[in-house]
Structure 1
Amino acid sequence: MAKILVTDDAAFMRMQLKDILTKLGHEVVAEAANGIEAIDKFKETTPDLITMDITMPEMNGVEAVKEIKKLNTDVKIIMCSAMGQQGMVVDAIQAGAMDFIVKPFTEDRIKEALDKAL
């Protein structure tokens, strides 16, 4: 079982991810609505894995990945992106993300990404 921080500016997306992750036997230790919150929650909860949306207000996912990786190079991050954000996904992978899931999510795809990451 992994401790996971879910980051997305859309509350319904966080809820959907949380439901799937919980069903897969993981614990969602915190949620964040933007990159700045994600960094704060990461410091508070030291999760094993972070799911990170790309497009968010205040600080986007790519910037947040860079900052979090400065704090802990070992943390595992999976990006969540809408269609058409391939360029930003590449930036995120270069910044240290391990994988990405395209929205809308399927439970199978999330499980596959988690199995690969953990």
Structure 2
Amino acid sequence: MAKILVVDDAKFMRMTLSNILKKANHQVVGEAENGQEAIERYRDLNPDLVTMDITMPVMSGLDAVKGIKQEFPTAKVIMCSAMGQQKMVVEAIEAGAKDFIVKPFDEGRVIEAINRTLS
């Protein structure tokens, strides 16, 4: 069972993702609504993995990945993107994200990405 931090500015998306993760026997240890909060929560919770939305207010997921990786080089982050954000996904991977999942979430694909990133 992995400890996972779910980051998305939309509560519905955080709930959807949390439900998928719990069903797969993972523990959602925290949630954040923006990149700044994500970095703070990461420091507090030290999760095994983070699911990170790309487009958020205050600080983008892209900047949050850079911030987290700078402080915690071994952090595992999976980006969550809407269709048409490929350029940002590539930037996120270059910044250190391990994988990405596309919205709307496909349960199988989410679990696959999580398991691949954790192994």
Greater than 6 Å deviation, 4+ residue runs: none
> 1:54-73 deviations in whole A, cap 9, x for unaligned?
00001000000000001111
If the length of structure 2 is used for normalisation, what is the TM-score? Answer: 0.98
Letter in 2 for 1:47: P
Identity %: 63
Where does residue 109 of structure 1 map in the other structure?
109
Distance 1:102 1:62 in 2: 15
Q: Is residue 60 of structure 2 the alignment partner of residue 80 of structure 1?
A: no
Provide the rounded CA distance (Å) in 1 between the counterparts of 2:40 and 2:80: 19
User: What is the aligned partner in structure 1 of residue 59 from structure 2?
Assistant: 59
Secondary structure of the equivalent of 1:75?
Answer: coil
Which TM-score applies when normalising by structure 1?
A: 0.99
Report matched runs for 1:1-118 at 5 Å.
1-118=1-118
**CA RMSD for the aligned pairs?**
0.4
Segments of structure 2 that go 5 or more residues without pairing to the other structure are none
Once the 2 structures are TM-superposed, how far is the Cα of residue 107 of structure 1 from its aligned partner?
0.9
In 1, distance between residues paired with 2:52 and 2:9? 10
Where 1:62 maps in the other structure, the secondary structure is helix
Once residues 86 and 72 of structure 1 are traced to their aligned partners in structure 2, the CA distance between those partners, rounded to angstroms, is 25
Unaligned runs of 5+ in 1: none
Q: How many residues align?
A: 118
